[in-house]
Structure 1
Amino acid sequence: MKVVAIASIAVMAGSILGGCGSTGLSNGSDSSSKVEKKAPKDLKIGVSVSTLTNPAFVNLKNVISDSAKKQGSKVIVDDANNDTSKQNNDVEDLITQKVDALIINPCDSSAISAVVKKANEANIPVVCVDRSADSGKVVSTVASDNVAGGKMAANWLIEQLGKKAKIAEIQGIPGASATRERGKGFDSIGDQKLNIVTKQTAQFDRAKALTVTENILQAHGDIKGIFAQNDEEAVGAARAVKSANKKITIIGFDGALACLNLIQKGQVTATVGQQWNKIGQESVQMVYDFYQGKKVPKNDKVAVKIVTKKNVTSFKKQVYNK
């Protein structure tokens, strides 16, 4: 009888644990839960973008909206203005509106986790774009390979300026996965093979990067290069360098139109170009694949490449059709 009792308890415990493990957000890879299939025309997609003051994210928003609307989906877009509280409130509002899916470009990877978990509780699938969420269940994160891109930037600076060249690194928003990953890739090579004299944050902001670069040039007037962790910072840095009448090699990260234009003018030397058209299109496709019960990759990494004056025209045509 003791054996029977123990066996019964084991069965009950297994049933309880099995129930706790199901979130209702399986995309078909988990046989314990199935997705209710929906056609694109029947989906309402909520989109939260970190900021629409960054031209790269404006393009991302346009690609997502256009891709979804072409398939008949309804799209609701919110601009977080780089404010984590606003973004969380926006996403909570989208959950209240009972959207079928959320595509989120987080301001901060940690701060967004709370509302990702709320979306999980509401059985709303979440796709993160460009930046990840630190916790909560995300169907897929569609982003460039930021670590590889950071390494590309470091190796490119070594090729252009030589080993141990004096470099300044302008970092992004502390807490954003893109900041961590781009810095990790760049520093893994730069800390050993370059002379990084300073690392300062400009919050991925053009105006702040202008001020930060002005201060860097006063303290380290002999630097030969600057790595800016996004193109808004690269544009701000270029303005400071131009005002100081200096010749400094600048490489950004994004492939934003404003930076590409400065590359053509010779004011920025290069950028690690992201394929925003593919990132936007694939984030929408992840939602559609999820609702068709297809297996969706947890991390969808889109390739990046160095863009200079030699290939900037072809890159603009590919990504922006300009």
Structure 2
Amino acid sequence: MFKKVLNLALVAGLATATAGFAQDADKTGYKGAPRTMLWSTSLATMMDTTQYKKDGPYTIGFSNASISNSWRVGMLASIQQAAHDNADQIKQLIITDANDDPAKQVSDVQDLISRGVDLLIVSAATAEALDAIVTQAYEQGIPVVLVDRRITSENFTTFITASDMVYGHMSAQWMVEKLGGKGNIVMLPGMAGVSVAVNRIAAAQEVFANYPDIKVLDMQYTDWSPAKGKQVMAALIQQYGDQIDGVWNDHGLQGSGAIEAMVEAGWTDLPPITCADLNGCVKLAVQNKQPAFNYDYPPAMGGVALEVGLDILAGKPVPHQYEMSVDVAITKGDETVSVKADKWVEDYARLDKPNDLILSTGIPDYDPTTFSVEYPQ
């Protein structure tokens, strides 16, 4: 498909109109392009989507890897909310759930293709497994929006994400500086083979490698599960004990479980930890006076994926990779030379809300136990 490079002024103008930036306006007053885009040394690649322009209402297919954790439930809610908000443009939103089974998701996408969807949204179980079927849809002329997780090739229209590389680099740099450039770290990433985890691990390891006195004691996958995060951390405590100086997570889901394991092990002076999205991680850090870094991976990207998809069907140019703006939250007194806070974790954590609350869905007063919205289906 045809690509072209446009200037950042146009990119910022496009971005300002979409939901991803509205959430930052609500929090900070900022309405511009994502800061990751402003920091980039290269121009954004924009996709010419005029070939997809058609009259609505549209049939949209969303192939979801799963709703196996509270983050993914929040992302689904964000898409459903966006479909509700744009119901006048949508004939039907078809949602499938692969239950983290790549083979089932391939079948789901094939079914959506056969049903003649005008737009295909995919959050891939794994990049490799979904590449061929997504490529097939793209080459058949169906615009493809990837969200959260991408495929291995570039055969898609746009990828809605938050920068995994920024998370990996910034969280690792914060931890290194909190430790004074010397110490032992355990890494608790999410799921093997999933692009989010792969990229965040690579970026963090790139930072750690620059400091010869920083040692990664161990790395264990947690499947982005609070329960498994607790189990893995408990085993690491058994093995390494007080050798552990820092706990690096690629998300807050397992981070909350890791904190619970430390507390139950009787630790009182908890080491620095990294979090994202989950109220439990930042809430427990505050309650236990633990140094914490939080950089969300907003499930609000689900709603952005649908709205950018509608832009594609209107023939508007869109970025090939759309990175949402994210604020950095750090516990008070724990900023470092290189990493500063946009807000304090103490102000961001919802101490009055349950641990499994996802903080960045973009839905006001979101509660996963009561959320329900009507949309065309």
The aligned residue for residue 8 of structure 1 is: none
Per-residue deviation at 1:312? 5.4
Q: Deviations over 1:276-317 (max 9, x none)?
A: 32x233211221111111111111111333324524544748
Q: Compute the TM-score of the two structures, normalised by the length of structure 1.
A: 0.81
Q: Aligned pairs, how many?
A: 293
Q: Match for 1:106 among 124, 135, 140?
A: 124
2-structure distance, mates of 1:108, 1:143: 15
Query: What is the root-mean-square deviation in Å for CA atoms of aligned residues?
Result: 2.6
The aligned residue for residue 321 of structure 2 is: 299
The aligned residue for residue 259 of structure 2 is: 238
Pick 1 or 2: higher relative contact order, CA cutoff 8 A, min separation 6.
Answer: 2
After the TM superposition, which residues 1-322 of structure 1 pair with which residues of structure 2 at under 5 Å, given as runs?
29=48, 34-39=51-56, 42-72=57-87, 73=90, 74-135=92-153, 137-193=155-211, 194-221=214-241, 222-246=243-267, 247-249=269-271, 251-266=273-288, 269-277=292-300, 279-309=301-331, 310-311=344-345, 313-314=347-348, 316=359, 319=362, 321-322=364-365
Per-residue deviation at 1:143? 0.5
Q: Which moved more, 1:58-67 or 1:115-124?
A: 115-124
The aligned residue for residue 16 of structure 2 is: none
The aligned residue for residue 19 of structure 2 is: none
Q: Which moved more, 1:265-274 or 1:279-288?
A: 265-274
1-structure distance, mates of 2:166, 2:314: 32
Per-residue deviation at 1:139? 0.6
Per-residue deviation at 1:199? 1.7
The aligned residue for residue 18 of structure 1 is: none
3-state SS in 1 of match to 2:260: helix
Q: Deviations over 1:166-218 (max 9, x none)?
A: 11011222221111211122111122233211122223333332222122112
3-state SS in 1 of match to 2:318: coil
| Residues 28 and 219 of structure 1, relative CA distance in 2, 3 Å threshold | closer
* Residues 126, 140 of structure 1: 8 Å contact kept: yes
| Residues 292 and 189 of structure 1, relative CA distance in 2, 3 Å threshold | same
Letter in 2 for 1:29: D
3-state SS in 2 of match to 1:166: strand
Per-residue deviation at 1:261? 3.7
Per-residue deviation at 1:121? 4.4
2-structure distance, mates of 1:282, 1:231: 22
* Residues 171, 202 of structure 1: 8 Å contact kept: yes
* Residues 129, 141 of structure 1: 8 Å contact kept: yes
* Residues 254, 272 of structure 1: 8 Å contact kept: yes
1-structure distance, mates of 2:176, 2:73: 32
| Residues 146 and 158 of structure 1, relative CA distance in 2, 3 Å threshold | same
* Residues 55, 257 of structure 1: 8 Å contact kept: no
Q: Compute the TM-score of the two structures, normalised by the length of structure 2.
A: 0.70
| Residues 139 and 206 of structure 1, relative CA distance in 2, 3 Å threshold | same
Per-residue deviation at 1:149? 0.8
Q: Deviations over 1:17-62 (max 9, x none)?
A: xxxx79xxxx9738xx8224233xx112222222313211211111
Q: Deviations over 1:217-270 (max 9, x none)?
A: 122112021111122211221222222122433534531344344344348733
Per-residue deviation at 1:320? 5.0
Per-residue deviation at 1:113? 0.7
Q: Which moved more, 1:201-210 or 1:174-183?
A: 201-210
Per-residue deviation at 1:161? 2.4
Q: Which has the larger radius of gyration?
A: 1
1-structure distance, mates of 2:237, 2:127: 31
| Residues 99 and 256 of structure 1, relative CA distance in 2, 3 Å threshold | farther
2-structure distance, mates of 1:58, 1:251: 24
Q: Deviations over 1:44-88 (max 9, x none)?
A: 222222231321121111111111221112322222222212222
**Long gaps (5+) in structure 1:** 1-20
Percent of residue pairs identical = 25
Q: Which moved more, 1:79-88 or 1:308-317?
A: 308-317
2-structure distance, mates of 1:226, 1:303: 25
1-structure distance, mates of 2:360, 2:277: 12
**Long gaps (5+) in structure 2:** 3-45, 332-343, 350-358, 366-377
